Amino acid sequence: MRRILEPAATAMAALNMTDQQIGDLRAVLDELDEDPTVEALVANDLEFHRRIALGSGNTVLCSLIESLSGPTTRARIWRGLTQEGAVARTREQHSAICEAIASRQPDLARSWATVHVAGVEEWLRRALQD
């Protein structure tokens, strides 16, 4: 569900977020320490995605995404603990998403969001198989 909803919200955010909202989104990225705890990384990740959903301007879509965030928190923590390079990968992808939104490129924003969520999904599939 996240792979469908979040890219759509991210594309909409690229068209609808105000300059202030984009600045606030960048501030969320800047709040993360260089070597964060897993808990800090997950909290930052949840806030980043929440702000994008709000920035989509679609309250129903935002509500759906927020309802999916809670049940995925445990998987996000597990990934942060077990996947090598998870912090760097998350930072890189979040920055790319933010820049696509800031440059008002909805297709690029959608693509980066798809890559981001699909990567987590693929990691989870492999982890569950092992």
pTM of the model: 0.89
Does the pLDDT of residue 85 top 80, yes or no? no
**pLDDT tens-digit map of 26-84:** 999 999 988 888 788 888 988 999 999 999 999 999 999 988 876 666 666 666 666 67
**Dihedrals phi, psi of 4, to nearest 5 degrees:** -90, -50
Say how far apart CA 29 and CA 16 lie, in whole Å. Answer: 19
* 32 Rama sector, left if φ>0, alpha if ψ -120 to 50, beta otherwise: beta
Please state the domain extents for the chain: 2-129
In terms of CATH architecture, what is 2-129? Up-down Bundle (1.20)
Which residues have CB under 8 Å from 72's CB, separation 6+?
A: 2
Q: Tell me the average pLDDT across 85-114.
A: 94
pLDDT of residue 71: 61
3-state secondary structure of 124: helix
* 111 Rama sector, left if φ>0, alpha if ψ -120 to 50, beta otherwise: alpha
